[in-house]
Amino acid sequence: MTNTPAFDSVPDTYKVKYTWLDGQLVESAAAVVPLMTYTLQYGLGVFEGVRAYDGARGPAVFRLREHMERLHASAHLVQMKLPYSVDELVAACAQTMAKNGLRSGYLRPVGFVDDGKRGLGAMNNRVRVGIIVWPWGAYLGDEGLKRGIRAQVASVARMSPRSFLPKGKITGQYVNSIIAKRAAVLSGYDEAILLDEVGNVAEATGENIFYVKGGVLHTPSTSSPILEGITRDTVLTLAREHSIAIEEAAFTREALFSADEVFLTGTAAEVTPVREIDGHVIGSGSRGPVTERLQSVYFDAVNGRLASHEEWLTSYLPDM
């Protein structure tokens, strides 16, 4: 073989020494699972994406408890019993960040089903939990946060609640998002926006969606098949506190095409403006004023610069 395929590899800067697995911190290299892990075969697992910021009050994880509550809620939807309580998982996440000496970064708690009985009907295999952490910058790029990104309306629909459980952050369900994301990236876009089965806008592949028209902030209501994002809730809370009018209701792609501003929210993507959708320039074609204001207050919140919402921060002391 002369041509070696170039695979992406984990950058050294993302490699952290310790991973939390089944109740203890172990060397990351030892945190491995068997090939017949039920979750690897069938996609039945639950996960979270959480961020920590080195803010004004020192390193703190943002809305950690809500993320661990959602992990438990996702597990409940698929009848997986997580062997750790919300409190135990909150402590474990903080401990994993601290032990790795990380002052900021991304946390990926995952609940998965081990090998044991084989076949789809296995009900009592051991449920395990891992927490992986790493330093991570802006998911859709620093430039994306400032200038906005370009998105495509996906040809695949957001999974139907008739067939799946879209309110759960369930590993296998992400194939739906990946199909849409790959098609968008291969067509030269940054992100995909998925419609639901009846043609209303649902969300992006790993972000909720908002648009602004005439000063009013719009987003699909929680009766849409969306993941109920914690960033979505944060932005709605902050918007209310800044007297921005809000409408949570169904809308079609036309509303996006003629919007003044569109932006996406997610723990990874934070608050990312969308400047173009399917070749339609959105508003002025750059980050709009309402997006900029909400983005700025969001960064104040996650960085502990708001006098209110101290309850959103779980502080920890990183090992030196």
Catalytic residues: 169
Where residue 309 falls (left for φ over 0; alpha for ψ -120 to 50; beta otherwise) is left
Tell me the longest C-alpha to C-alpha distance in the chain: 64
Tokens at residue 95, please? 């401990």
Q: Which chain residues interact with ligand PMP by CB under 6 A?
A: 49, 169, 177, 203, 206-208, 227, 229-232, 265-267
Inter-CA distances, 141 with 31, 146, 173, 207, 221, Å: 29, 9, 25, 14, 28
User: Among 180, 189, 187, which Cα is nearest to 149's?
Assistant: 189
Encode burial over 74-97: b for 16+ CB neighbours within 10 A, e otherwise: bbebbebebebebeebbbbbbbbb
